[in-house]
Amino acid sequence: MAASENQDQQHPLWSSDRQIVDALLAGEPTDYNLAEMARLRIRYQGFPGARDIQTDLDKALKRWQLTEADLFEKTRQIHQVAQVYRGRGSQREDWS
């Protein structure tokens, strides 16, 4: 194993996030999917590991023809007018 592989960390939410990312890769840029993408981009930004998730988030953004700046602008607008996570409980308020 290379030194960089030893430094990679396993994110405690990798398993559940992996399922979300798989759905994003297969899905369309709906309001909910855009909000999930932005949430996960923030969660994994600078995280030393979960490279598969980070790579797949990039792939989904590219497939949706969005930059990260576009994504965050759209999600700010979405959250101003709608409650995307209504009825999903407080666990969706998880940004870490």
Q: How many domains does the chain have?
A: 1
Average pLDDT over the chain, rounded to whole? 87
Helices 68-81 and 31-44 sit at what angle, rounded to 10 degrees? 120
Q: Is residue 25 part of a domain?
A: yes
Range of the domain at 67: 13-93
Q: Is residue 27 part of a domain?
A: yes
CA–centroid distance for 46 within its chain = 13
pLDDT (tens digit, 9 = 90+) per residue, 41-77?
999 999 999 999 999 999 999 999 999 999 999 999 9
C-alpha span between 70 and 75 (Å, rounded): 9
49 bridge partner residues: 9
pTM of the model: 0.80
